[in-house]
Every structure is written in C-alpha cells, then in structure tokens.
Chain A
Amino acid sequence: MRSVPVPALAGSAGGPVVDADDETLMDLPSVEAAARAIIRNVETVIDGKRAAVTTALTVLLAQGHLLIEDVPGVGKTMLAKALAKSVHCSVSRIQFTPDLLPSDVTGVSVFNQVERRFEFRPGAIFANIVIGDEINRASPKTQSALLECMEERQVTVDGATYLLPPPFTVVATQNPIEMEGTYALPEAQRDRFMARISMGYPDTESELMMLDARDTASPLAGIEAVVSADQLRGMMTAVRGVFASAAVKEYTVSLVRATRDDRDLSLGASPRATLQLIRAAKARAALHGRDYVLPDDIDSLAVAVLGHRLVASSRVVGHHQDRGPVVDDIVRRIVAATPVPVGAPGHP
C-alpha cells in the first residue's frame, strides 16, 4: 500500500494528524482570542445562534465531525460555510443526491493519455472543511464512502491510500422532518459524528435584523478569514494539551454508563462517545481559556455529543415524529441526576 501525498491542495503542507510535534503550539489566551474572533466573524452572518456557533467551533477544534440537523432554511449551510470561510483553509461542498457516486466523493483514477499512466483525481473530500449538504439523500454506498473517509482520515482508491490533511472536518446537514426518499443514517454512521446540533429558528429580533442586513447582498461575500490554517492547527494542538482530571473522567464515564442503563433508552452511548465527549470538552475548555476540563464542560456538551447516538425506546418516543428532542430531554435528565465527583484537591 502506498502513501501518496495529495498535490495541489491548499493548506495540505502538514503531515499526518498524529505527528503534531512540529506544529505551532498556541498558548491558551491566544486560543481564546482566536476563537472569539472566529465566533464574531461567523456571527456577522448568523444572528443569535451563539450556542450553535460555539459548538460548531468546538467540534472543529476537537477535530471531530459535525452533524447539523434541522428544517430547511434556518442557516445550516450558512453556518458551515461561514465557519469554513473564517478559517483560511480549503473548503468543498457536496450536495448529496441519490445519484451521487462514491467516486464523486473520494476521487477517481483517470488514465492520462499523455503520460500513459493512471493518475488520481481527488474528489470533493480533499479539503480542510467538507460541507455535505443533505447527507441523507445520498445512497448508502456513497454515505459509507464518506463516513469511511471521516473515520480513517484517508482515502483508498485503486489500492492507493491518500491521506487527508489536517485540519479535516466534515460538516454534514440533514433534514429530520422530510424523510421521504432518503436514506437515514444508521446508528453506526451517526456515531462517527462528534456532535449533532440543530439551529432552531431565530428569535424575532434576530429575524428582523436579518431582514434589514441581508435583504439584497449575500452575507457570505463579506466574510474574511480571521485565522490561518497554521493557527488553526496550533489551536488544535493546544486543545489536545488541555488537562482532564480523574474526577472529570470519572464523571464522563458515569454519564455515558447511565445512558446505557437508562430505561428510556434502547441504545446507549458507545465508548467512542466517551472519548469524543472528553475531546470536545477539552476544546470547550480551551475556548474559554482554561487548561483544565470542568464538569460543566461535559454537562454543556452532553446533549450535542451524546444525543444523536442514543435511541429512545419506542415507549417514550410515542407519536413524536422527530426523536431528537425526546432523546435530548433524556440526556438532560441523566445529566441532572448524575452526581458530580468532588475529586481530591491536589490529587486529580
């Protein structure tokens, strides 16, 4: 198996994700400042969605993938695009349709008549931030091609493996209401996403402001990158260095275990969920300039990180068409009922 660096891609100078030693390490105040800058920037196009924006950025910094689930027209794609444009890195967008082929995502080997050999044409996945619109409209085959790339952070075509350069984040959107003619993501594939957020409708004030500001021009046109790809990698490195105490780890594990034992859930969260919850919490701590994780970080991310992985028992779902809010309520209840370990001072 060959490992072939992919040419001609912006911001692809870095090595594999795991070799992070040579990356610029950013100190936490700078991380916090940069994060604020990104959030401010995104908020110029999306009003009144601070929580969604923050969670999206958190996932980006934790090197996870984000699933945005909501009804059409609330700014899912706008959020993804604004986030991508705020960081100076490559962005690609895939509109998923039933006839989309896996090779459209991953790329394809084409015979070069001049050089008389096959050469690899990278697909849309080769970008730092990949926006997958309406992911549930693609065929399962295409979906699984995308999801393999997400997990492995590499693409294998015709026996050759191509690494995907960090940062690499997939931001997928889907519409939970209109399910006709779609292929809902199976649980195993939902599990690949670090977090799921929903935008929700803007409040009256934000909607009025939106009318005034974006009646004519496309707001995205005015967005400039505020953070370079190198800076972003530095932020990610800093996030990995955030400290999680034994008490916090214990708390995370008991939360996740509680989802497995809860009588209202027929499927609990996976160990991968535990791992990603801690990672996301580290990113959130760094976003707030802290170099240690608080139980509060876990609490505030629990719904986003765990919600989409859980399956509520049919008893509690009842007639709800959208299971999301039901599961979110269960997660909130579990969070509220799980004791927070105090931890021994000085002995984390």
Chain B
Amino acid sequence: MTPPDAGIRPARRGPSARAARLKQAQWPLAFALLLLLVVANAGLGPLLEDTGWWWLMTFAAAGVLLGSAGLRRAGLPAFFGPLAGFGVLVAMLTLFFGAGSGWLWLIPTGETVDRFRDLVFSGAVSVEQQSTPAEATVGILFLLSAGAGMIAILLDTLAVILRVPALAGLPVLVPVLVPGLVLTGAANLPALVLTAVAYLLLLRVEIRMRQAGSLQRPPVPARPGSVSQGWKRAPGAPGGAVVVGSVAIVAAIVVSVTAPVLPGGSVTGTRPGSNLLFSNGVSPMINLGQDLRRPDAEPVLHYRTTATRPPYLRLLTLEEFTGRNWVAGIAPGSRENTVDDIALPPGLSPEIKTSETITSIGIDDLATRWLPAPMPARSVTGLLGAWYWNEGTGSIASPGDTTIGQEYTVTALTLEPTAEQLRQAEGAYPAEIRRSLRLPAETPALIGDTAREVTAGTATAYDAARALQDYLRGSDFAYDTEAPVEDGYDGGGIDVVSTFLEVKTGYCVHFSSAMAAMARSIGIPSRIAIGYQPGSLSASGSVAGVGRYSVDTHDLHAWTEIYFEGVGWVPFEPTPGRGAVPAYTRDDAAAVPLGESGANAPSNAPRPEDLGGQQNADAQSDASSLAEELGGILRLGLLLLGTLALLLLPAAWRVTRRMLRRRGILSGRSGAADAWREISDTAVDHGVFVRDTETPRELAARLRVLIGSAPGARGAGIGAAAAALDRILVGAEQSRYGRPGGDASHPRAAELLADLDMVLRGIRSASDRRARARATLLPASLWRPAERRTDSQPRTRRIYARE
C-alpha cells in the first residue's frame, strides 16, 4: 500500500469548530435575557426589604439561563435547554431550600417535595401577613426563586427555541407590574423604564445575531465566492420584533399606570375597610392595632361554650422573631392532619389536669385562613372546606378556604396545671422548642437587663414568667392604643420592644412581644399568640344556661405563651386591663418564696435561668452551634463528594468505552475500523471538530497536522505517530470501503493496539492542558459522536423552480 495521498484537498470543510459551538450556545442572547430578568426583578424592590432576595432570584435565573446555554455550547440540541434549565432550577431549590432532604442535597426526594409544599404555603402566608415592604422570609424567598427560575425557563424557550425574543417581554412584566398592582398607585416607573431598556437591548442583540447568521443551524460551510450561503434572512423579522416590543412596552406602562388597584376586600367579597384580618396583605400586628383603634366595634363572631371561663380564641402563633417582626413558622399541617382528630399538644404530660370543653362558634364577619378556636383543640366539626392542624403550634389553617360564614364546633382542652406543676417543669427543651429561644442578633441590652432585673430572686422559669407578667401588668405600664402610633413605635420589632420598655405605654402587641422577648432573653421559650379575647356575654340569647358570647373587632388580642417541659405551651396575659389572667398565675396559686422552690433547687442556689440557666443555655447553644458547624462541614464534604462523583460520570463512561474497544481489538473481534473510531472519538474529546461529511482521510490529514504541532515533540516521535496513524487509517479504509476481509494492515492485534496508543498519545500531547482536562472529564464524543451513521440527504432545499 502506498502512503495515503493526503492533502489532496486540505481543509476543505471547516468553519472553526469553536466558533460554531459558541454560536450554538448563543451566549449574548443568554446574557441579554439574564439582564432583562434581573432588571425586571429589581422592580419588586418596593415590596420587599433588603436586597438578599434579589441576589437569590438573580442566582436562580442565572443558573437556569447559563446552564441552558452551557448545554447548547456542549452541543446538545436546543430543545434540551428548558429541560436542563428546569433541572438546574430544581437542583438549586433543593440545595438551598431542601434543608438537606434531597439526595446528595441536589436531587429532590419525597421529603423535599413535602418541604417545598410547606414553603409555598408559608410563603403565601407570609405574603398575606406582612405589610410592605415585607421581610423576605424563607417561604417568600422560595417563591421568588422558583418564580424567577420559571420565568427564566419561559424566556429561554421563547427567545432561543421559538426564536421570538420579542415575546420575552411578556413574562418579565410580572415582576415589573406586581408592585403596581399591590401598592396603591405605585407604578414603579424607573424599574419599568430600566426593564424597557434591557428589553430593547435584548432585541438589539437578537437582531445582531440574526444578521451575523448565528441563529442559523447548522452552520453550512461556505466557500469564498460561493453565492449561496444557505441561510436567508426572513424579511422584516427584526423590524416586526421591534414593533411588537414597542407595543408591549407602551402597553405595560399604560397598564401599570392606569390599572385599578385591587380593593382590599375584593378577595373575600366583603366590603372594603371592614375587619378583614390579614386579607389585604397587612401585618397581623399592625392590623391588630388598627382594629383596636377603630372607633366602632364591628361584630366578628359569636360563640357558646361549656367552659366555666370563656376561652381565648386563638388564630395563630408567631414564633419566629426576625428582629423587625414576629412571623409564623412554617404553617401548614400535613394533609393527614384533618381536624376531626387533633393530637394532644406537644409536651403535655398526663399528670396535668385537663378538662374538655365544647364551643360552638359562628363567624359573623371575619375572613382569614386561620380558624379562631380555643386551644388546645382536639377536634373541630362542621367546617366547610379543607382545614388542617399543625403539629408544632396546634393552629388550624386552610390552604384554600376562609372563615367566611363558617359555623363550627370545637372540642378543646382547658389546661389546668397547678403552679407547683409548672414550677417543677424542668429538663432540656426539645430542639424544635429551642427555636423559640432565638432572639435577633441586634437585640438591645435593655431587654435582657430589664428581664434579669424583674426576675431577680425568682428560682424557676414559672416564677420568672410570672414576675414578667406581673411587671408588665403593674402600675408602671399603661394601656393605650394610640400612643405608639403617634410616637412612631408601632409593631412588634425588637426596637419597638426596647422603646416600649422605656415609654411603658402601648397595647397588647407591645405587652406580648415585650414579655416574649424578655422571656427569651433569660432562656425561657416563648411565643406570641394572636386571636380574640373572650368577648362579652350577650344579655339576650342565653339558651339553656349556656351563654352566648359576642366577639368584636376590639377583642382582637395578642398574648404570650410560655413553654413548660411536661406541660406544653401555656398562655400568659401580660396586657393590663385586657383578657383574664390565667388561674395558675394568680396569687391564690401561692407564690413560692425564695428558697422554697422545691427539692430540686437548693434554697440559696442561683436561679437556673439567671446564671446557670443562662450559662447552660449558652453551653447548649455553643454545643448545638458546634454540632451544626460539624454537620455543615460533613454536609459540605458529602456534597462535594457527590458532585465529584457526578462530574466523573462522563469520564468513567468514556474510559469504559475505550476499554471495551481495546478489548475487542485485542481479541480480534474488531480491527482497525474500531481503532479509527476510537481515534476520531478521542479527537472529538480534545476539541477537534469532526463532521460526518468528512472522510477518514481528511480527518487523518488534520490529525497529522495536530500531532505535528505538539509542543516539544521530537521529529522521530511525530513521525512514528503519524506513521501509526496512516497504518490505522489504511486499515480502517480497507475494512470500510475495501473488499470484505480486505483489512490486512495489522496482521497482529498487539501491533494495532500499539499503533492506536501511539496516535492517542500524539493527540493528547498536542493538546493544551485545558483541552486534556476537558477530554478526560467531559468527553465531547459521548454526546456528539464523531461518526453518525447517516445516509441523510444534504441539507439543501429547492426553493426555485427549474428555470
């Protein structure tokens, strides 16, 4: 055989491979889309506090858009983009919000799905509860990230796959227009204008890419002087895009300026301005004050009860103190937690005396997703819609229904612990209760100082709680619903608490949050309950000795609940002149003087909460933070390991394929043809663009140049590798195109293998380090095989009739 007549037609096919793939990735388009979305997301600014949420949204959008573009860059068909984007989004959400429930923290499991559902619910609840600018709670962050990711996928689909980037302006109108709809008259013009600019930039990028022919796929190699370049621009397409885009922008501006602001009551169908607790996106704490300040009390509900003392009707509890606000934790119960059988509250031991009461409640005018009920409830009957109870709080809520027009009966327990029982409650708090000890980092010293001062000399948590309650109910403090608003310290934030402790004037929100914050500062788990105080007995309507109580908007109330190990959450009433002080905190329950605190506390021992408790709590928190840190490191390590394994998967696949081919060659089952396939695959791995329109000889000519270009290669080595390449080429050609059984280039398999190795080494040494690393870790031949067995017709189209 003669040496192959290479170079007959050198470099005939060849747009730069790199350029072709870069075009396919369409990076400029991806970045323009990202910019558009990020700018549009900033339009949510007036609704939310801080900027952390914006970064998270940017991160989610970037992950989706750039991940999708990256896959296109890797040579995957464009329609994989959105799928990949969705995958990236799910993985990112699992990583950030899954709390380690995902497999390898990336792949969602059933638990993750449950968690996501909870997050959606809690996010929705947070949105309902908070006033604007709202604090971005975990739930809200989750909703925002998921939303940004979904919009990014939509944009990617519109702009890259359907190639109508003009329509990409529609999805981004959502974040731009939402503030305009939520806030009265807040047409966020700067955000709108910025978005419009980003949108025009996107159109510009797209037009430029069209003009450059980047959007044409596949790139048909064109000869210089060739008249036909294959792709012809659709006439007027960019012009149309601009028109559509301009119309969209103008429409957006017009809509955002003129859109009627949704009336607060329209959601519930009752008249605006009535006591629509939480329904118009206002914080419960603020709303509560507004309801209390309302000159005319509106009826809210009425009830009859078998209880001897009319019960507090609790709506929800706020256990997370973020610093600016008290917010509800993750709220929804599992779907199995139907209200016909509610479990005993956590931490309640059978030694505590309880009595069962039955209360029938009828809603007059209240629209909320939280059910007002005496707590702890054991069962509720007569409700319309789906209502579930929550394990942690016992609160009853519905994901979709409201309290409007409900008539229902609640069977509830009345806890009647004795002071002695409460005093003896001790032991380490469970982990989920310890969360109710958290105070914001910026808590002023005044709160802790006041708490220690007030509780000095008390021996038990119970006594300390009572001391706090007594302190707040004392004559120093005045109940006033107007003063805080006038003086500008309304709400339940940590600064408000500190101001309140100085001014000593406020209403139930201030009293309850002050007590809760002070309790937490000395190591007692506490939370705030929101609901209605018992209301007033109607003169009329007493049936068979069971009185009818009416509750109006002025009865809306907040109080504090304290956790006792073995008893559970127990309500306290720190607000003077409101509600009723629980029996177990009244004086007739015999306050225990110092030194008589029981067998477990030595008389002159320091109060556990004061010193030991404090240290204990510190030690506990130290220990838990250490454990958290260790867990974090472990999680990070596992995450890295999992990621590493995932990243090495393509490499392993490629190595296996190479091994199988070598084995086939060695056993004589396959010959030079397989060796050639391995060579061309390796070439693809190392960034050589191999087309299916290329003959082996043409590829060989290019590989010979490549091998010859190896830095530091000696002449003889190059010659040997080139000769080996030629031998394999001839063998492959003979086996492909020669007579059957004509491959006689390598009589011995070992020689063929040696030749193959020499060529592969040559290709490897001719590539730079980056290309080698890519060839090992992300072998391109896996998803873009060098030789597709194709008999397809050339991609030409007959447009013009024969002349």
Partners in one complex: yes
Which A residues fall within an 8 A CB radius of B?
Answer: 32, 243, 245, 247-248, 250, 254, 257-258, 261-264, 266-267, 288-296, 299-300, 313-316, 318, 325-326, 329-330, 332-343, 345-348
**Contact at A292–B739, with CB atoms within 8 Å?**
yes
Tell me how far the C-beta of A327 lies from the nearest C-beta in chain B, rounded to whole angstroms.
10
**Contact at B800–A263, with CB atoms within 8 Å?**
yes
Closest chain A residue to B225 by CB distance?
A329
Complex interface: stretch among B2-10, B122-130, B254-262, B444-452: B2-10
Cα-based distance from A296 to B743 in the complex (angstroms) = 18
Q: In the complex, which of the residues A254, A266, A342 has the most CB atoms of chain B within 10 Å of its own CB atom?
A: A342
* B223 is an interface residue with CB less than 8 A from chain A: yes
The 15 listed contacts between A and B (C-beta, < 8 Å) are: A261-B793, A263-B228, A267-B802, A294-B695, A296-B5, A296-B9, A299-B8, A315-B227, A316-B227, A316-B228, A318-B227, A329-B223, A337-B795, A339-B692, A348-B738
Cα-based distance from A128 to B574 in the complex (angstroms) = 123
Cα-based distance from A296 to B693 in the complex (angstroms) = 11
Contacts of A314 in B (CB 8 A): 803
Q: In the complex, which of the residues B2, B225, B227 has the most CB atoms of chain A within 10 Å of its own CB atom?
A: B227
Cα-based distance from A333 to B803 in the complex (angstroms) = 21
Given contacts A263-B798, A340-B694, contact A346 B741 (CB under 8 A): yes
Cα-based distance from A266 to B9 in the complex (angstroms) = 27
Cα-based distance from A318 to B736 in the complex (angstroms) = 42
Given contacts A261-B798, A300-B8, A334-B796, contact A245 B227 (CB under 8 A): no
**Contact at B740–A347, with CB atoms within 8 Å?**
yes
CB contact between A336 and one of B12, B800, B802 (< 8 Å): that residue = B12
Closest chain B residue to A245 by CB distance?
B737
Q: CB-CB contacts of B722-745 with A at 8 A, as 1s and 0s?
A: 000000000001111111111100
Tell me how far the C-beta of A282 lies from the nearest C-beta in chain B, rounded to whole angstroms.
12
Cα-based distance from A293 to B733 in the complex (angstroms) = 9
Cα-based distance from A325 to B224 in the complex (angstroms) = 12
Contacts of A295 in B (CB 8 A): 695, 737
**Contact at B698–A337, with CB atoms within 8 Å?**
no
Closest chain B residue to A347 by CB distance?
B740
Closest chain A residue to B224 by CB distance?
A329
CB contact between A250 and one of B221, B692, B791 (< 8 Å): that residue = B791
Q: CB-CB contacts of B766-803 with A at 8 A, as 1s and 0s?
A: 00000000000000000000011111111111111011
**Contact at A32–B799, with CB atoms within 8 Å?**
no
**Contact at A291–B738, with CB atoms within 8 Å?**
yes
Cα-based distance from A337 to B227 in the complex (angstroms) = 15
* B211 is an interface residue with CB less than 8 A from chain A: no
The number of chain B residues with a CB under 8 A from chain A is 52
**Contact at A296–B698, with CB atoms within 8 Å?**
yes
* B475 is an interface residue with CB less than 8 A from chain A: no
Which B residues fall within an 8 A CB radius of A?
Answer: 1-2, 5, 8-9, 12-13, 220-223, 225-228, 670-671, 673-674, 692-695, 697-698, 733-743, 787-800, 802-803
Tell me how far the C-beta of A249 lies from the nearest C-beta in chain B, rounded to whole angstroms.
10
Tell me how far the C-beta of A275 lies from the nearest C-beta in chain B, rounded to whole angstroms.
19
**Contact at A292–B2, with CB atoms within 8 Å?**
no
Tell me how far the C-beta of B30 lies from the nearest C-beta in chain A, rounded to whole angstroms.
29
**Contact at B740–A336, with CB atoms within 8 Å?**
no
Closest chain A residue to B692 by CB distance?
A339
Closest chain A residue to B694 by CB distance?
A340
Contacts of A316 in B (CB 8 A): 227-228
Contacts of A263 in B (CB 8 A): 228, 796-800
Cα-based distance from A257 to B670 in the complex (angstroms) = 33
**Contact at B796–A262, with CB atoms within 8 Å?**
yes
Contacts of A292 in B (CB 8 A): 733-734, 737-739, 742
Contacts of A337 in B (CB 8 A): 220-221, 693, 794-796
Given contacts A289-B2, A316-B228, contact A296 B695 (CB under 8 A): yes
**Contact at A245–B220, with CB atoms within 8 Å?**
no
Closest chain B residue to A311 by CB distance?
B803
Tell me how far the C-beta of B348 lies from the nearest C-beta in chain A, rounded to whole angstroms.
76
Q: In the complex, which of the residues A266, A267, A314, A340 has the most CB atoms of chain B within 10 Å of its own CB atom?
A: A340
Contacts of B697 in A (CB 8 A): 294, 296
**Contact at B739–A243, with CB atoms within 8 Å?**
yes
CB contact between B803 and one of A250, A262, A313, A339 (< 8 Å): that residue = A313
Tell me how far the C-beta of B679 lies from the nearest C-beta in chain A, rounded to whole angstroms.
14
Contacts of B1 in A (CB 8 A): 289-290
**Contact at B225–A345, with CB atoms within 8 Å?**
no
Cα-based distance from A261 to B795 in the complex (angstroms) = 10
Cα-based distance from A61 to B500 in the complex (angstroms) = 109
**Contact at B228–A330, with CB atoms within 8 Å?**
yes
**Contact at A258–B698, with CB atoms within 8 Å?**
no
Contacts of B735 in A (CB 8 A): 345-346
CB contact between B789 and one of A261, A264, A342 (< 8 Å): that residue = A342
Contacts of B803 in A (CB 8 A): 266, 313-314
Given contacts A292-B733, A296-B697, 17 further A-B contacts (CB under 8 A): A257-B793, A261-B798, A262-B798, A292-B734, A296-B695, A299-B8, A318-B227, A326-B227, A333-B222, A333-B228, A337-B221, A338-B693, A339-B794, A341-B789, A342-B787, A342-B789, A346-B735
Closest chain A residue to B223 by CB distance?
A329
Cα-based distance from A40 to B8 in the complex (angstroms) = 18
Contacts of A315 in B (CB 8 A): 227, 800
Closest chain B residue to A260 by CB distance?
B798
Contacts of A257 in B (CB 8 A): 793
**Contact at A294–B227, with CB atoms within 8 Å?**
no
Given contacts A254-B791, A314-B803, A345-B673, contact A329 B737 (CB under 8 A): no
Given contacts A243-B738, A288-B5, A345-B736, contact A334 B698 (CB under 8 A): no
Given contacts A336-B221, A338-B693, A342-B789, contact A313 B740 (CB under 8 A): no
Given contacts A258-B796, A262-B796, A348-B738, contact A329 B227 (CB under 8 A): yes
Contacts of B741 in A (CB 8 A): 346
Contacts of A266 in B (CB 8 A): 800, 802-803
Cα-based distance from A264 to B222 in the complex (angstroms) = 13
Contacts of B228 in A (CB 8 A): 263-264, 316, 330, 333
Contacts of A336 in B (CB 8 A): 12-13, 221, 223, 693
Contacts of A340 in B (CB 8 A): 692-695
Given contacts A332-B12, A336-B693, contact A32 B798 (CB under 8 A): no
Cα-based distance from A300 to B9 in the complex (angstroms) = 7
**Contact at B792–A339, with CB atoms within 8 Å?**
yes
Tell me how far the C-beta of B429 lies from the nearest C-beta in chain A, rounded to whole angstroms.
71
Cα-based distance from A135 to B228 in the complex (angstroms) = 32
Contacts of B743 in A (CB 8 A): 345
Closest chain A residue to B229 by CB distance?
A333
**Contact at A339–B9, with CB atoms within 8 Å?**
no
Cα-based distance from A278 to B693 in the complex (angstroms) = 19
**Contact at A339–B790, with CB atoms within 8 Å?**
yes
**Contact at A325–B2, with CB atoms within 8 Å?**
no
Contacts of B790 in A (CB 8 A): 339, 341
**Contact at B226–A330, with CB atoms within 8 Å?**
yes
Given contacts A263-B799, A289-B1, A296-B8, contact A334 B739 (CB under 8 A): no
CB contact between A332 and one of B223, B789, B797 (< 8 Å): that residue = B223
Given contacts A296-B698, A300-B9, contact A245 B738 (CB under 8 A): yes
Tell me how far the C-beta of B149 lies from the nearest C-beta in chain A, rounded to whole angstroms.
39
Cα-based distance from A315 to B228 in the complex (angstroms) = 10
Tell me how far the C-beta of A197 lies from the nearest C-beta in chain B, rounded to whole angstroms.
15
